[in-house]
Amino acid sequence: MINHSSFFYFDDKRLLSLGEGASQSYSAAEPFPHIVMDNFLPEEVAEGLLQEFPTPTQIKWYTFKNVEEIKLACNDESQMGPFTRHVISQFNSSVFVTFLEKLTGIPGIVADPHLEGGGLHQIKRTGYLKVHADFNRHSRLNLDRRLNVLLYLNKDWKDEYGGHFQLWNKEMTRCETKVAPLFNRLVVFSTSDYSFHGHPDPLNCPEGMTRKSLAFYYYSNGRPSEEVSNHHDTLFKKRPGETFDSEGKLKTVVKRVTPPIVIDLFRAIRRNSG
């Protein structure tokens, strides 16, 4: 049990060394620059975050429930525990931003104190987030979005639960990398119009268990000319054989697991019910 009166601060020398040492691996990663770092926080700090992480009914979550995503999110710090708020301040600190600059080679990184789109994320059983590229400008700061940082807080997570973070190639023909959302695992990746990612298949974790993460997004004033595009919101992409309209989604799933006679019966029931 962590003592909330003993605050945590990033070790600047450790992070500087870590960022410099991993920079080549980061830039060379496919399908776009990224890195996965296990046991990123001291164990007692990660435990403290998990202890304070609210359940789906404890606070007022923003609920995404549509064809593209089913998840819960909260960027309202007043609903978070005191230790969580302190750790968030560390992810927005000069020490952590300098680490990101060393790791990614991106100069002039700016943290987001408003946690736009970030903060606490939680996915319940059957939830998902379809493959997408993120919005590219901060609505309030008017800066270019450059980096995502995800910290997972899922103990005893099994492969069969799903929820793996997927990275897709630019052509959306192939998932290049899958990352299990394991406890105290940090993922950093560069964002552009082609950094397609998500966890698109419904979670299969036990009822009452959720996929928990903290999300932080980082910005800069300008970006490389080859990455410049008009302002846009989240760009959801179809995987091969996937459709986003509700009827098409149903057909895709049903055809995969159900005999044709049952599909025909289901269609007849729908027609008769009007």
The DSSP element (H or E) to which 250 belongs, if any, is helix 246-257
pLDDT tops 60 at residue 257: no
253 against 181, higher pLDDT: 181
DSSP, collapsed to helix, strand or coil, labels residue 17 as helix
Q: d(Cα 8, Cα 11) in Å, to the nearest integer? A: 9
The maximal CA–CA distance of the chain, rounded, in angstroms, is 69
Residue 258: pLDDT band (50, 70, 90) is: very low
Among the residue ranges 10-19, 41-50, 54-63, 221-230, the one predicted with the least confidence is 221-230
Query: Which pLDDT score is estimated for 243?
Result: 81
Q: Report the distance separating Cα 270 and Cα 118, nearest Å.
A: 40
Strands 211-220 and 119-123, bridge-based pairing: antiparallel
pLDDT value of residue 6: 60
Q: How far apart are CA 274 and CA 154, in angstroms?
A: 44
Structure tokens at 195: 């950094």
Judge contact between 89 and 10, C-beta under 8 A: no
- Three-class SS state of 8: coil
| Peptide bond before residue 259 is cis, with ω within 30 degrees of 0 | no
| pLDDT higher than threshold 60 for residue 228 | yes
The reported pLDDT for the residue numbered 3 is: 55
Query: Is residue 250 very low, low, confident or very high in pLDDT (cuts 50, 70, 90)?
Result: very low
Give the span between the Cα atoms of 187 and 37, in whole angstroms: 6
Q: Dump pLDDT digits (tens) for 109-132.
A: 999 999 999 999 999 999 999 999
The identity of residue 247, as a single letter, is E
Q: What pLDDT is attached to residue 263?
A: 37
Of 232 and 252, the structure prediction assigns the larger pLDDT to 232
> Per-residue pLDDT for 86 more than 80?
yes
Using 50, 70 and 90 to split pLDDT, how confident is the model at 176? very high
pLDDT of 265 above 50: no
- CA-wise closest residue to 133 among 198, 72, 230, 57: 198
Confidence band, pLDDT 50/70/90 cuts, at residue 259:
very low
Distance in angstroms (rounded) separating the CA atoms of residues 158 and 95: 33
Domains and CATH numbers, the chain: 12-241 (2.60.120.620), 243-274 (no CATH)
Bridge partners, residue 199, by sequence: 129
The structure's pTM equals 0.86
User: What average pLDDT does range 215-229 have in this prediction?
Assistant: 93
